[in-house]
Chain A
Amino acid sequence: MAAQFVISPDVNVRNITDWFILNTKVQRMTGQAFHATVYTDFADLHQAYANGQADLVFANASDTALLVRDHGYQPIAAASRVSKEASVVVAADGPLHALADLPSHLTVASTDAPDVERICRILLEPANLGPADLELAVKPNPVLVAKAVMRGEVQVGFFPQDAYRELSAMVRDQLRVLIASKIYVVRNSFLASPAIAGLVGAIWAGLESMNNDPDSAELLAGLGAPHGWERVSIEDTRFMIDLMDALSQG
């Protein structure tokens, strides 16, 4: 029976077929059949976790905490020198130019990516804006977040920085970054469920072999790993989980 390879909805997917190509490679690395699913909805992804239908996961930091701490998943690898950063964005021609300009009640558009929302909420804390001061409108994707800001439906938008950079120049011209994170340690990573714990070594060996393979360079860039993959230890993962816990607003 095929194991399940699942990709989190907040992975910035440029070309979905890249993930299916990687899935083929994973099957060659391990000799195990995998079925790949690029999720577009967190509710569906979390249902897959609950149903035990997520063996190899490319997970965001929030889900990494859940899967490693509560379900015994093992970290395998992450993209080298790539971290998840977020920006709070306003309308270019609007009145908000600095944190000090923000009102005490703020309307926000965001996707449902939990890492990005958590980072952006932290970025707004110096402006005395806590959880109760933000009115959040969830949008299906960053383009619709951008439109909500441009049309004045909300005062700010929360963006992953990579997705913001990939908006068209015409859209970005109508927006302005108010504040951007430089945290460096929040990242997506490959995790293995206890059911495939015996395959961790083979998966890492296969991912590592891609780093020095010129034929894999384009694929790596498409997967968001232009500098290749690096091994992630359980200690690295525990540190990221602790950091995400510390950033939660309780």
Chain B
Amino acid sequence: MQDMRPEDVRGEWREYSWTYFDGTRRRLLITDLETRFPTGELIVSQTDVAGMITMVNEAFVHMSGFSRKELLGTPHSILRHPDMPRAAFADLWTTIEQGKRWSGYVKNLRRDGGYYWVYATVIPKIVDGVVVGHTSVRREPSRDKVEALVGVYATMCAEEGR
């Protein structure tokens, strides 16, 4: 994945060097600007079994700040925000690799360095009994739950040495 560039970022940013699960690294430029979830809409995407994006809807494109062309064929982890604990994604992958549904609150990273909160559900995409990918549907989260989780996730990140 390409490093984030200052010219794409809105507002004051902090820099992180982020290491993904496969050992690859990316320069992240993070701001405190939140984009609120569009009320009444759903953000939808599909990935292949390797986690590469194969389909996104308009709300996904709008909220992520990336173009559809930039998203397709890119790892879904391009949205990974450093404020999210690694344990949450470990739980997600452990769950969906068993062919089960996973739901949770997620802070996503935008192309412009900002973020947006979602309540995400990921389910396996099964064709003829074989898992061929995953469908992910995000809906508007409860603000009370988001506010409660900000502290919880910060504690979990601290326990992970971040």
Contact B39 A128 (CB under 8 A): no
Q: Mark contacts of A4-18 with chain B using CB atoms, 8 A cut-off: 1 yes-contact digit, 0 otherwise.
A: 000000000000000
Is B41 an interface position by the 8 A CB rule? yes
Is B125 an interface position by the 8 A CB rule? yes
Q: Per DSSP, are chain A's interface residues mostly helix, strand or loop, or mixed? A: helix
On chain B, the residues within 8 Å of A126 by CB distance are 37, 39, 140-143
Contact A125 B140 (CB under 8 A): yes
Contact A242 B143 (CB under 8 A): no
Contact B142 A242 (CB under 8 A): no
Please, which residue of chain B has its CB at the minimum distance from the CB of A87? B40
Number of interface residues of B (CB under 8 A): 28
Q: Mark contacts of B89-123 with chain A using CB atoms, 8 A cut-off: 1 yes-contact digit, 0 otherwise.
A: 00000000000010000000000000000010111
> Which residues of A in the span 143-175 have a Cβ within 8 Å of any Cβ on B?
none
- Beyond A180-B40, A183-B41, A184-B57, is A245–B141 a contact (Cβ under 8 Å)? no
Contact B135 A128 (CB under 8 A): no
Contact A125 B119 (CB under 8 A): yes
Is A243 an interface position by the 8 A CB rule? yes
Interface residues on A, range: 20 to 34
Q: Which of A182, A242, A246 contacts B40 (CB 8 A)?
A: A182
Please, which residue of chain B has its CB at the minimum distance from the CB of A234? B127
On chain A, the residues within 8 Å of B101 by CB distance are 245-246, 250
Please, which residue of chain A has its CB at the minimum distance from the CB of B137? A246
A-B contact pairs, 23 of them (CB 8 A): A125-B139, A125-B140, A125-B142, A126-B37, A126-B39, A126-B140, A126-B142, A127-B142, A128-B142, A128-B145, A182-B38, A183-B40, A184-B57, A185-B44, A185-B57, A239-B46, A239-B135, A242-B135, A243-B42, A245-B101, A245-B123, A246-B101, A247-B42
| A interface residues, Cβ below 8 angstroms from B | 122-123, 125-128, 179-185, 238-239, 242-243, 245-247, 250
